[in-house]
Structure 1
Amino acid sequence: MSLKYAGSAIEQNAGKLSNIDEWSPSSKERRWLLIAGCSHPPAKVATSERREREPKGAKTGKYLQGINLDLFNMEKAIGHTLKNKIQNLEITKSEAESHIKKFFSFCKENKFKPMLYYTGHGEMPTGNWCFSDGTIGIEEIFECVQKEGCDYPTICSDSCYSGTWADYCITKGVNGFECLSACKDNQSAFDHQECGGELTLYMTGNEDKLTDGRPTTEPLFSRGEEKDFPTFRKYSKVHYSEFIKYYTHDSKKMLIWQSIHNRHIFTVFDSHEQYNNRKKLFFTSPSYKDLSQKLKQQYKEGFKISSLSCDQTTGKFFVYMVEEYGTFQTIIQSTDPDSLFLDDKSSVTSCTVYNSTYYFVVTAGVAEFDGKDQEIFTRQSKKDVDKEIKKQKSRGLIITSVCYNVDAKECLVVMTESNNTLQEHAWFSEFNKRDDKLNEWENDLVQRNKTVYTIVFEDPSDGQFLCVMTCDNNRNGYQCRAASLYD
């Protein structure tokens, strides 16, 4: 089953309870079960830092106030169609499951359409609902519906990472089993101490309390696909640290590639046999001076940069480091790449640029680069870039890094000798699942050559994307992800 992505709820005119008959039609009367998650999920359950955990046993504070407001707003909006409200800051998973099961049984017996609402913490990266001793996943709710034999519910989840549930529902493709989520799968949902969660405010007709009259994040609804109801950069923002953590948390995946321009990030995540068991860390620096200070400590602790990018519109550096990535590392600054001199033991393993100054991450002792010939060149047109790439590929080199100098209007490419020269690259007008040409190119390469993404790079001069796929036996299971950054 190929994964599908749920589209923007707002583009589908979905989410407001005032017109629910249009976006979630039902021939039966609706009944609602409102559930509030616990205030303090188990320590093993990762949640966003944006939604405050209360100390275990506490019953006051921001979390409680936000939950109270959400439930109040929902009760007021749905009126007599409320069947039950479950609010217990220490509620267990089994207690929540029991209430859901009873609710489904009630709806079956009385021929009601079940409406299931949740407000609280969402687990990273699943979006699962959090209770004091565990979580409930969308798969478990689906199985419960099948066992009880009631109509499939419409689920409304005002929690972080809830877009995962909307994506699950549209991928599942079961008529009537739908989800309205507060945000995309990699986003944290927003709530406000003085008025509650943003999705709930939007649902209940309180959009006047929201900036732009809509949630700050991008609510999704599983009836339509993203390719037909696109989400927008402005409302798809994430924090860099949470974005990286989301795709690498509790898994063997690491950041393979990142490029950032105008607060928009393009990334490749994958497992890598050589680095799976090594520690990683990631952070941002507002300036190169600040970065240099931070690196002194990280180098002492055995970490080396595997990926460095700078947003030329903000001057901020984005850093991903891996434990024991090489034996020695330094960053060389240069305004003239042609004058860059490297000894036989060092290679350029990453590069970026800011204010016409290139920053070359030079590392020794990295298996993929050690003792390999490199060619570094700049060109101003894509035609000339492609011509030089073709020339170097004939010598057995592949693309390993790329950046664009906005001031000099030139593209810099690093190519490295490789034992496996099976690599393809192409330029596309956009990078997303709606681009049929991109999908066709990608699928063909994966099926024929078992290639994986190594680079996704946006050219700031015209917004086109350089996509590079390479055969790499050390990797398996890549994910390419893009997002707008608050950073």
Structure 2
Amino acid sequence: MYKNVDPNTAFAGSAIAQGAGKLIDIDEWCPTTKERRWLLIAGSRHPPDAVILSQKGEREARSDAQGDGSTFLKRVSNDFVNMERAVGHTLKNKIQNIEMHKREVENHLREFFDFCRANDFKPMLYYTGHGELPTGNWCFTDGVVGIEEILEWMPAGMTPPTIVSDACFSGTWSNFCTQKQIEGFDCLSATKMHQAAFNQGDKGGDLTLYLTGQGDQLPDGRPTSTPLYSRGRQEDFRDPLKYNKVTFIDLVKYYTFNDEQVLLNQCVHSNYMYTVFGSYAKYKRRKKDFWCSASFEEFMKEMKSQKKSGKFIYSVAADQSTGKIYAYAIEGYGNFQVIMPSESPKDLASQDLSITGCFALNSKYYFLLTAGVEEFKGKKQKVLTAKTRTELENEIQTYKSKGMIITSVCFSVENENYLVVMTESDLPQQHKWFTDDGTLFVNWDRELYNNNNYYKIQFFHPIDGHQLCVRVKDSSLQEGPSIAALLYS
């Protein structure tokens, strides 16, 4: 599932679903009446410190800094070998310098563009290397190259280039091309905008192997992530959810990068995660942190460390199939916080502490009890438990009639029991259960969005897949994307 803040915003569709990405079929997915010429570009091994990379990229950079640069260098070198062999006589030039500067790249691109214009060739640009978070920009020793700059460097009268980017977060470039709609200016990217690009050891990048006809080297005969191609739109060309594969850190880092958005809600089971992002004015520019703990003990240790730095957990979820706990903390979210375990939950709120979150793990429920949070302070709360949705819904309606709204939801797999926390509030709230993302869901979703009811909670039942969607009308909240993804275990 992916809901956009603006329904009119265009996102690029899956390249695989479009039949795009293999050079042997390039005349079908990238048609042109002109001869093609390729420029192959490799990124630098060490981007500037200010450039943020994916977790994978950071690991490679640390490895290089310790003197073992083999991971990055072997991948890039093999990508070049594979591409040179595949494009053959249409190769114009290749640029590989592990300490290359941005100005050199610009000079090579301008020279290549002038050559293609003078000879009436279709320019084809290929890049392999690090991609910057969140832009997907190409990384060099002293800076990055963005897709907007490539547009600026194109001379008048030149046929626009098709770009192939085997880099992390490169889906941002495909989305850019989809939205710009410049005839012939397209991008085939290795990933969605929030994904890292992966490789098969020293054999090369997934996208490059697929591009050059070596799909047999890939686990499913295709890239592990979701390559995008800008000619088709997301609503028409989708990949199965299992290919929207990310790390928790990359996913949250991408959508909260500019400090405008926070992770409002998360739900996870068997490594499938569902997240809701949004923007609250009062939490903009606050320091934030997020982490995954392999056990409850690790989680408590990290939570203690975060509290010392003034950050308290805003949203939390536990994967009951793996035991992992995923947490997101914000500076100044309350002034005191504890975790309270309970096997038989009752009303846990006190005059000073409010239930601001909950999760289930093994036979217990765990409650986040927080003091000093404005939207909870002094508000009555009620903890509801139920075995069935019908029973739960009846309870919810009873307390909604008393002026309460849903503020937390979880389900215990071991106890086969729902738990909902309701809090006194004057905010209008709408909620509904769905079994899929069909017409009923889309119509309900669109109508409430158009009436300024924004997502606060999306809960997915870990066994039967039913989803509880909760929207609230809150003038301080602006909706962000809701993302479903498969986490790397």
**Would you call these one fold, judging by a TM-score over 0.5?**
yes
Q: What do the CA deviations read for 1:300-334 (whole angstroms, capped 9, x no partner)?
A: 33332211111111111111122232222211111
Q: Which residue of 1 aligns with 2:36?
A: 30
2:75 aligned residue (56, 66, 79): 66
Report if aligned partners of 1:285, 1:316 keep a CA contact under 8 Å in 2: yes
Structure 2 letter corresponding to 1:295: M
Alpha-carbon distance change, 436 to 181 in structure 1, aligned in 2, over 3 angstroms: farther
> Does residue 361 of structure 1 match 2:368?
yes
> Does residue 280 of structure 1 match 2:279?
no
Structure 2 letter corresponding to 1:393: K
Q: What is the DSSP-based 3-state SS (H/G/I as helix, E as strand, rest coil) of the residue aligned with 1:149? A: coil
Q: Which residue of 2 aligns with 1:469?
A: 471
2-structure distance, mates of 1:381, 1:469: 22
Q: Which residue of 1 aligns with 2:104?
A: 95
2-structure distance, mates of 1:106, 1:59: 38
Structure 2, unaligned runs of 5 or more = 1-5
Report if aligned partners of 2:380, 2:424 keep a CA contact under 8 Å in 1: yes
Alpha-carbon shift at residue 361 of structure 1 (Å): 0.9
Structure 1, unaligned runs of 5 or more = none
Q: What is the DSSP-based 3-state SS (H/G/I as helix, E as strand, rest coil) of the residue aligned with 1:148? A: coil
1-structure distance, mates of 2:110, 2:308: 55
Alpha-carbon shift at residue 59 of structure 1 (Å): 10
Report if aligned partners of 1:409, 1:461 keep a CA contact under 8 Å in 2: no
Aligned ranges 1:392-431 → 2 under 5 Å: 392-420=399-427, 422-430=428-436
Q: Which residue of 2 aligns with 1:334?
A: 342
1:161 aligned residue (154, 157, 169): 169
> Does residue 149 of structure 1 match 2:157?
yes
Choose 379-388 or 182-191, whichever is displaced more: 379-388
Q: What is the DSSP-based 3-state SS (H/G/I as helix, E as strand, rest coil) of the residue aligned with 2:220? A: helix
Q: Which residue of 2 aligns with 1:189?
A: 197
Structure 1 letter corresponding to 2:212: T
> Does residue 254 of structure 1 match 2:256?
no
Report if aligned partners of 1:105, 1:148 keep a CA contact under 8 Å in 2: no
Structure 2 letter corresponding to 1:65: K
Q: Which residue of 2 aligns with 1:128?
A: 137
1:112 aligned residue (109, 121, 127): 121
Q: What do the CA deviations read for 1:146-204 (whole angstroms, capped 9, x no partner)?
A: x4322222211000011111122222233322211111111111124521211111111
Alpha-carbon shift at residue 299 of structure 1 (Å): 2.7
Alpha-carbon distance change, 74 to 59 in structure 1, aligned in 2, over 3 angstroms: farther
Q: What is the DSSP-based 3-state SS (H/G/I as helix, E as strand, rest coil) of the residue aligned with 2:56? A: coil
Alpha-carbon shift at residue 477 of structure 1 (Å): 4.6
Q: Which residue of 1 aligns with 2:3?
A: none
Structure 2 letter corresponding to 1:32: W
Alpha-carbon distance change, 137 to 440 in structure 1, aligned in 2, over 3 angstroms: farther
Q: What do the CA deviations read for 1:215-269 (whole angstroms, capped 9, x no partner)?
A: 2212122222233221122222111122211211233322111111121111122
Alpha-carbon shift at residue 372 of structure 1 (Å): 0.1
Alpha-carbon shift at residue 60 of structure 1 (Å): 5.3
Alpha-carbon distance change, 57 to 372 in structure 1, aligned in 2, over 3 angstroms: closer
Alpha-carbon distance change, 299 to 56 in structure 1, aligned in 2, over 3 angstroms: closer
Choose 324-333 or 54-63, whichever is displaced more: 54-63
Alpha-carbon distance change, 341 to 58 in structure 1, aligned in 2, over 3 angstroms: closer
2:222 aligned residue (214, 229, 232): 214
Q: What is the DSSP-based 3-state SS (H/G/I as helix, E as strand, rest coil) of the residue aligned with 1:80? A: helix
Q: What do the CA deviations read for 1:283-311 (whole angstroms, capped 9, x no partner)?
A: 12222223223333333333322111111
2-structure distance, mates of 1:314, 1:396: 37
Alpha-carbon shift at residue 376 of structure 1 (Å): 1.4
Alpha-carbon distance change, 56 to 87 in structure 1, aligned in 2, over 3 angstroms: farther
Report if aligned partners of 1:272, 1:475 keep a CA contact under 8 Å in 2: yes
Alpha-carbon shift at residue 416 of structure 1 (Å): 0.7
Q: What is the DSSP-based 3-state SS (H/G/I as helix, E as strand, rest coil) of the residue aligned with 2:25? A: helix
1:446 aligned residue (439, 446, 449): 449
> Does residue 82 of structure 1 match 2:85?
no
1-structure distance, mates of 2:173, 2:11: 10
Structure 2 letter corresponding to 1:440: N
Alpha-carbon shift at residue 143 of structure 1 (Å): 3.8
2-structure distance, mates of 1:298, 1:69: 42
TM-score normalised by length of structure 2? 0.92
Alpha-carbon shift at residue 34 of structure 1 (Å): 0.8
TM-score normalised by length of structure 1? 0.92
2-structure distance, mates of 1:225, 1:246: 21
Q: Which residue of 2 aligns with 1:226?
A: 234
1-structure distance, mates of 2:69, 2:461: 50
Choose 43-52 or 291-300, whichever is displaced more: 291-300
What is the identity percentage for the equivalent residue pairs of Structure 1 and Structure 2?
47
1:371 aligned residue (375, 378, 393): 378
CA RMSD in angstroms comes to 2.2
